[in-house]
């Protein structure tokens, strides 16, 4: 089957780009910006500045610009729209505070399409030896959802399963937005 798929691309003239290699960027810093939120924010790594979008997680929206998404998030957490928006702001503040010092970004610079005008790249963030996505989920400030990738040293399925377990723990302990259930 792989042969036929390859043959299709060769015959049709469609080129398939090889995935970009993973890069580990050390000593990154958080750049304050009005559009930053819990899962998408500006960073500087050396001379390179860009908007980063976290793999694997979705934090609540901070406004009703995307009302359907915000309603869906509220339903997921069993919260009101108002509480969901407050949690979105709390997630953004939590990320800002958590990333006060240098951190590590692991990325392929794969484009993270969104409704905004700024170019974003999917990435993982490690701070204090922990993954930011896991920290957000465990705090009840994000849900295990979004684009997944097999990151260096781990299959995406294993990472998603760990996030789901952490989300269950946050829900059981009533952390973050889970504490504001309807």
Model pLDDT for residues 104-162, shown as the tens digit of each residue: 999 999 998 766 667 899 999 999 999 999 999 999 999 999 888 888 888 899 999 99
Count the domains in the chain: 1
Q: Calculate the CA 38 to chain-centre distance.
A: 8
Average pLDDT of the residues in 151-176: 93
The residue range of the domain holding 147 is 26-180
Q: How far is residue 100's CA from residue 71's CA, in Å, rounded to a whole number?
A: 31
DSSP 3-state of 132: helix
pLDDT at 171: 97
146, 60 Cβ separation under 8 angstroms: no
Q: Report pTM.
A: 0.86
Higher pLDDT, 10 or 90: 90
In this model, does residue 34 exceed pLDDT 60? yes
**Is 150 within the bounds of a domain?**
yes
* C-alpha gyration radius of the chain: 18
Whether residue 111 lies inside any domain: the answer is yes
What is the C-alpha to C-alpha distance for residues 5 and 11, in angstroms, rounded to an integer? 10
Q: Is residue 75 included in any domain, yes or no?
A: yes
Angle (deg, nearest 10), helices 67-77 and 81-98: 90
Is 10 part of any domain?
Answer: no
Structure-token pair, residue 101: 């010092």
CATH of the domain at 42: 2.40.50.90
Residue 1 lies in a domain: no
Average model confidence (pLDDT) across the chain: 88
Is the residue at 21 inside a domain?
no
How far is it, in rounded angstroms, from Cα 103 to Cα 112?
Answer: 20
Whether residue 4 is contained in a domain is answered as no
């Amino acid at each position: 089957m792989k042969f036929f798929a390859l043959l299709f691309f060769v015959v049709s003239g469609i080129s398939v780009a090889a995935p970009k290699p993973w890069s580990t960027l050390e000593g990154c810093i958080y750049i304050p910006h009005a559009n930053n939120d819990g899962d998408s924010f500006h960073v500087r790594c050396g001379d390179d500045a860009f908007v980063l979008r976290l793999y694997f997680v979705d934090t609540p929206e901070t406004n009703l610009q995307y009302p359907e998404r915000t309603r869906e998030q509220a339903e997921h957490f069993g919260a009101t729209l108002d509480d969901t928006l407050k949690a979105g702001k709390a997630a953004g503040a939590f990320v800002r505070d958590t990333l006060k010092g240098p951190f590590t970004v692991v990325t392929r610079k794969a484009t993270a399409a969104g409704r905004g005008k700024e170019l974003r790249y999917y990435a993982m963030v490690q701070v204090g030896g922990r993954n930011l996505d896991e920290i957000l989920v465990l705090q009840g400030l994000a849900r295990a959802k979004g684009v997944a990738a097999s990151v260096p040293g781990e299959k995406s399925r294993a990472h998603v399963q760990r996030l789901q377990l952490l989300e269950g723990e946050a829900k059981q302990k009533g952390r973050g937005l889970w504490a504001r259930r309807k």
